[in-house]
Amino acid sequence: MSKVRVLVGTRKGAFILTADGKRDKWDVSGPHFAGWEMYHLKGSPADPNRVYASQTSGWFGQIIQRSDDGGRIWHQPGTPPGETPAPGPPKAVSNKFVYDSAAKPLTTHQWYDGTQHPWEFKRVWHLEPSLTDPDTVYAGVEDAAIFRSTDGGKNWKELPGLRGHGTGPKWQPGAGGMCLHTIILDPSNPQRIWIAISAAGAFRTDDGGKTWKPINRGLRSQYIPDPNAEIGHCVHHIAMNPSRPGILFMQKHWDVMRSDDAGDNWREISGNLPTDFGFVIDVHAHEPETIYVVPIKSDGEHYVHEGKLRVYRSRTGGNEWEALTKGLPQSNCYVDVLRDAMAVDSLDKCGIYFGTTGGQVYASADAGDSWAPIVRDLPGVLSVEVQTLA
Amino acid sequence: MIRVALPYHLRTLAQLRSDVEVEVAGPVTQRSVLDALEARYPMLRGTIRDHVTQQRRPFLRFFACEEDLSHEPPDAPLPDAVASGKEPFIVIGAIAGG
């Protein structure tokens, strides 16, 4: 029977939630890495037992963790616990993220006050394992850049073409920092990758990461001097159904957007949403025109609108939205749902999952018609991913 | 042997239950002690000092013998009591929050 494994990153540790295909009884494992900020965990599509995790701390910096057994036992790649290291320089430094100095002319980006500021590594926001090779994994980091490991996370190398393509001095941090938070791999074209940065915008490579181009035509942002600029848009998240590569859905700071041409052009699909500010967006696993968002009141009030936790679903690819409320609190609720905190499984009846800053993880086993909490009282949730297991 | 006291989260990372002892050949300094520590426990690389600059991470402090040594040069000799193993070299998280 099929199973699902939900990987939850929180402000104080990671949790792994498992259930059978009915998704009504859950086992909860954790906290793993108790006390650490767990920005993101994600399993390899090529080997579901291979799970990567980003463990961070303002005191101790970045750690990369890896499990080869579905999240029971973890280690820092290249430094197995309990082994005495061989003499000499280490062969693996899995938490060493050093910007490539070849990424000229990028030594600075724009700071909050408009002055130039040097790139400084802070943390890994997002880990995206390869679709075909368990040892290849991409990392989106703050300050914004993309790194790749081809040895299971032991060593990391920047793909410098992204920062080096020319607009970097105009990139600026959003409220959460200047983070590269979205990485989407094209299942139909291994040379194509989409990424998104707050607040620079969306970019695409068509040559495996050597060169990148901004893909922000159609985005409009009132908080930058030229609202239609090529760069500077605060893209919060992008989602794509793997069965339709190139059809992209975006939750921008404000505005929900759609592209039908791999990001070359975007159009707004906010339609009848009560507010189109938000962070998460995702696509039904089997109905590629069915999309989900969680509207947040505003960028000054990072909680749900009217004290009601509502997921909005569009079955028409945008513009026409319905509120999904069954099982969700409809009064006195003031949580947020952060950008990487929604995921969908691929069971026949698509499951939708999201986590809140209040520590609840909700699941719907019927594509959003009804919801139930898996857990209610975790630390604030930073990310949610789900693995559908045979 | 030099005794090093680590904060809880670094002890957990290195799977240590208590203070760690490291052997240092030559002068006992912040740099030589941390080099020895990282060689024995490579999972700690980058968590105390920046990978590239080798500077102390900003939210960590170094104490020993009731003194704050955080701003001492990395190659300055540590107190004799640390070098003899009588007192630990303490890596501690800076106080933050409330």
Question: Which residue, among A89, A191, A86, A200, has the nearest Cα to A143 in the 3D structure?
Answer: A200
Q: Given strand A267-268, what is the order of strands in its sheet?
A: A235-240, A248-252, A256-259, A267-268
The model's pTM is 0.95
Helix (H) or strand (E) holding B9: helix B8-13
Q: Which percentage of chain B shows pLDDT scores above 70?
A: 97
- Does any domain span residue B17? yes
Q: Does position A264 have pLDDT exceeding 70, yes or no? A: yes
Q: What is the pLDDT of residue B91?
A: 97
State how many domains chain B has.
1
- Does any domain span residue B98? no
User: How near does any CA of chain A get to the CA of B93, in Å?
Assistant: 6
Q: What angle do CA A347, A349, A352 make, to 5 degrees?
A: 80
Residue B50's domain comprises 2-93
AA letter at A63 = I
AA letter at A273 = L
Length of chain A: 390
| Bridge partners for A352 per DSSP | A344, A364
What does the pLDDT look like over A192-201, one tens digit per residue? 999 999 999 9
Phi/psi for B61 (5° steps) reads -130, 155
Q: Are A379 and A11 in contact (CB under 8 A)?
A: yes
Q: Does position A224 have pLDDT exceeding 90, yes or no? A: no
Mean pLDDT of the region A200-219: 97
- Per-residue confidence band for B21, with pLDDT thresholds at 50, 70 and 90: very high
| Bridge partners for A259 per DSSP | A248
CB contact under 8 A, B47 and A79: no
Residue among A59, A81, A93 whose CB faces B57 most closely: A59
B60 touches chain A (CB under 8 A): yes
Phi/psi for B80 (5° steps) reads -55, -35
- Per-residue confidence band for A347, with pLDDT thresholds at 50, 70 and 90: very high
Residue A376: alpha-carbon gap to chain centroid:
22
Q: What is the pLDDT of residue B32?
A: 97
What does the pLDDT look like over B42-67, one tens digit per residue? 999 999 999 989 999 999 999 999 99
Q: Are A345 and A353 in contact (CB under 8 A)?
A: yes
Residue A322: alpha-carbon gap to chain centroid:
24
B70 touches chain A (CB under 8 A): no
Q: What is the pLDDT of residue A345?
A: 98
The tokens of A5 are what?
Answer: 């494994």
Q: Are A382 and A38 in contact (CB under 8 A)?
A: yes
Instruction: Identify the weakest region by mean pLDDT among A217-226, A281-290, A370-379, B29-38.
Output: A217-226
- Per-residue confidence band for B96, with pLDDT thresholds at 50, 70 and 90: low
- Strands B89-93 and B2-5, how do they pair? parallel
Q: What is the pLDDT of residue B17?
A: 87
Mean pLDDT of the region B27-50: 95
**Of residues A79 and B55, more confidently modeled:** B55
What does the pLDDT look like over A92-136, one tens digit per residue? 789 999 999 876 656 799 999 989 999 999 999 999 999 999 999
Query: What dihedral do alpha carbons A90, A94, A98, A102 form, nearest 10°?
Result: 80
- Per-residue confidence band for A175, with pLDDT thresholds at 50, 70 and 90: confident
- Does any domain span residue B21? yes
Q: What is the C-alpha to C-alpha distance for residues B45 and B39, in angstroms, rounded to an integer? A: 8
Does the interface ipTM go beyond 0.95? no
Q: Are B59 and A59 in contact (CB under 8 A)?
A: yes
Q: What is the pLDDT of residue B98?
A: 52
CB contact under 8 A, B40 and A85: yes
Query: Running DSSP on this structure, what letter comes out for residue B32?
Result: H
The tokens of A299 are what?
Answer: 């960028």
Mean pLDDT of the region A201-222: 96
Residues in chain B with CB shorter than 8 Å from the CB of A85 are 39-40, 42
- Does any domain span residue B26? yes
User: How near does any CA of chain B get to the CA of A271, in Å?
Assistant: 42
User: How near does any CA of chain B get to the CA of A119, in Å?
Assistant: 14
- Does any domain span residue B53? yes
Mean pLDDT of the region A230-255: 96
Q: What is the pLDDT of residue A79?
A: 80
Question: Which of B9, B17, B49 is the mutation pick for testing A, counting most A CBs within 10 A?
Answer: B9
Phi/psi for A384 (5° steps) reads -140, 125
Q: What is the pLDDT of residue A390?
A: 84
Give me the CATH number covering residue B76. Answer: 3.10.20.30
User: Mean of the per-residue pLDDT values for chain A?
Assistant: 95
Q: Does position B6 have pLDDT exceeding 90, yes or no? A: yes
